[in-house]
Amino acid sequence: MIFLDFEASAAMGGFPIEVGFCVIDADRRTRSAAKLIRHDEWLDDLARWDWQASQIHNIDRNSIMEYGVSPRAVMTWLNKELAGMVAVADSPMDGLWLQELAIAAGIAPAFGLTDDIPAVFSGPEIARAVALSEVNPVCPKTHRADRDAQHLAVRYLLSLADSAPVHRLYLAGPGLLREPLLSQ
C-alpha cells in the first residue's frame, strides 16, 4: 500500500509546499520520503500564505526557499517512485494539491490518487481501521507530509490481521485493481 500526503501554504486558496509518501512492502516494512516544493511564483503571492498554517506544519518560506525543489523536479520524482500505482490520501484536498503541482510542473501524474479510505480496507480491516482512526499513539499525525503518510500506513498495518497480506492499488482502466503483495 502507498499513502501520500501534502502540506499547503493555506487550507483554502493556498498552494502545495510539501509532499510525502509512505510505501508498505510485502514484509510490512515501510519506506517514506518527502520533498519541499519551491515555486517562486507561489512564494511571491503572500495573499496565498497563511502564517498560522506555517506554525501548524512548522514550514516557513525561508526553509522552502533554501531546501525546496521545483514542481517539475517533484513531479518527476513522484512519477518515478509511484508510476502505475495508486496512492491513498486521507483528504480530498490532497487531490487538489496534486493537480496544482502537476499544472505548475507541466507534467501529468503517472500514478493515481484516491481518498476513498474504505476502499483500501476490506472485511474485518474496516472495523479495526475505524477504531484506530482517531488516535494512534504509535505514529501520531505531525502535519509533515512524510510523517502523516506514515501515520496512515501504520493505521493500515495495525488494521491487518496477522495473516493478511499487504495490498497495492494499481490503475486498471476506469477503476482500481487491488492486488496482494507476496513476500519473496
Per-residue pLDDT, averaged over 53-76, amounts to 89
CATH of the domain at 160: 3.30.420.10
Q: What is the pLDDT of residues 105-161, one digit of tens each?
A: 999 999 999 988 777 766 556 556 556 555 445 555 667 889 999 988 988 888 887
Complete DSSP assignment for 52-68: HHHHHHT--HHHHHHH-
Which domain does 56 fall in, by range?
2-180
pTM assigned to the model: 0.86
For residue 94, what pLDDT band results from cuts at 50, 70 and 90?
very high
Query: Per-residue pLDDT for 68 more than 90?
Result: yes
Dihedral angle, C-alpha 145, 31, 68, 169, nearest 10 °: -70
Average pLDDT over residues 77-85: 96
Sorting pLDDT into bands at 50, 70 and 90, what band is 30? very high
Please give the Cα distance from 38 to 83 (Å, whole number). 23
For the chain, the domain total comes to 1
